[in-house]
Amino acid sequence: MKSKLRSKWGTLSCMMLVGALLSTCWGQSSAVHASATAYKFDFGAGSVVSGYTGVQASTAYNPSTGYGFNTPSNIKNVSASGTGIGSDAVQFVTFGTKSNNTFNVDLPNGLYEVKVTLGNTTRSSVAAEGVYQLINMTGDLATDQFQIPITDGQLNLLVTEGKVGAVFTLSALEITQVSTNPTTHPTIYVGGDSTVANYYPLANSVQGGWGQMLSKFINQNDYLVRNMASGGQIARGFRDDGQLEAILKYIKPGDYFIVQLGINDTNAKNNTTEAQFKEIMRDMVKQVKAKGATVILSTPQGRATDFDSSGVHHAEGRWYRAATIALAQEENVPLIDLNILSSAYFTSIGANATLALYMNGDTLHPNYAGATELARIVVENMKAQGLY
C-alpha cells in the first residue's frame, strides 16, 4: 500500500549524491549515503551508528527526504539486546501483510537486495509490497536478506506475524540496487514445513531445515533460493495464508517451486484427509504451472527411528506419500522421493549415525547437519533428473 505523499525518487537520490546531511526530527544528523542506490537505516531512539541514517518511531514519510513511516502513530521505539545497530529498534504495533503501517523508501525502479536485522522478537516475518518476503525469523536480532523488484518507485516494508503474541521489531535495514532492470534472477522457491524451514542464525543454527541448506549446493550464479517454508504448516495453510501468494507474485518461466508437505496434514487436529491434501496440492501445482514455472514435488523423510530389525530404514507409509507420488504422475511434474532417498542414506550410515542427524530427543526434526545432508540429497536428485 503506497503512501499518497510519494515524491519522485530523484529528490532523495540527488541529496544523497551530493552528500547532503539530512536533519532528523530529534536533532541528530542522518548518515551520508554512498550513492543513490545504497541505503542504510538504523531504527530506534538510541545513538545512530556511523554510516547509517537514524530513524525513530516518529519519523513520518516525507517527500523531501524520501523515507519514513506511513503511520508513525502505530510505531514505537523499543530497546534491543545487541550492540551498534542492534542496541535499539522500532516495534510495529499494527501489522499484517496488507497493513499500510509500513516503512517507505523512495527508490528508482530496479532490482534490490534488502537486508533486514530484527530487534528482540521470538518469531517474526517480513512483508514488502503486500506479501511475505521472509518467513518466521526466530530469535533476537535475527538477520536475513531477500531480493525484490521495485516497479512503482517505492519500497513498502513492515515486520509482521510469525507467532501470535510476539512483538514485531526492526533494528536495521540495508537496501542495495542490484540492477536497473526490475526482474528477479532465476529462482528456486521452496515450500514446506518445519523440516524444510529456515532457522536462525542461518549460518550456525542448532536446528535446520533442508530448504535453509539448499543454497550450499546450488551455484548462486545459477539460481537464488527463496525458502518460504514454515513450521507446523499444512497444504491448506501454505496455499491460503500468504506463502503461495508471495511466490505467485514473483515466480516466472525458468524458475522452480519445490514443495514438500504432508507431515502436519496427517495430524488429526488439522482435519485434512489424504484426498483433500492431494487436491489442495493439485491446486497449487496448477497455479504455479500457469505462471510458466516448473513445479517439483517432494516427499518428506521419515523419522530417525524408522529402522527395522535388520537395520534397514524405511518410512514409505508416512506423511501422505502415496498422494504426492500419484499427483506428480497425474500432473506430469518431477518428483523427488526424499522419503526413499533419505532412507537409503540412513540405512547406509546406520541407526546411531542417523539419530545424530536429528535434534536431541526428537526423531522428526533434523539438526543443522541432518538438514545439510537432506539438502545434498535433494540437489543430487535434481541433477540426476536433469533439473539442475
* 8 A C-beta contact, residue 159 and residue 118: yes
Core vs surface per residue 190-215: b (16+ CB within 10 A) or e: bbbbbbbbbbbebeebebbbbbbbbb
Specify whether 185 is catalytic.
Answer: no
Specify whether 306 is catalytic.
Answer: no
327-331: list long-range contacts, CB under 8 Å, 24+ apart.
Answer: 327/278, 327/281, 327/282, 327/285, 327/297, 328/297, 330/282, 331/282, 331/285, 331/286, 331/289, 331/295
Within the chain, residue ranges assigned H as helices are 9-17, 210-213, 235-240, 243-250, 274-289, 321-330, 338-349, 351-355, 368-384
Reduced to 3 states (helix: H, G, I; strand: E, B; else coil), residue 39 is strand
Cα–Cα dist 371/361, whole Å: 16
Cell reading at 335: 518428483
Q: Is the peptide bond preceding residue 201 cis, with omega within 30 degrees of 0?
A: yes
Cα–Cα dist 355/374, whole Å: 14
Specify whether 365 is catalytic.
Answer: yes
Out of 13, 87, 194, 230, the active site residue is 194
Cell reading at 169: 521489531
Q: Parallel, antiparallel, or unpaired: how do β-strands 187-191 and 224-227 relate? A: parallel
DSSP 317-379: TSTTHHHHHHHHHHTT--EE-HHHHHHHHHHHH-HHHHHTTB-TT-SSSBBHHHHHHHHHHHH
Q: Point out the residues that are catalytic.
A: 194, 362, 365
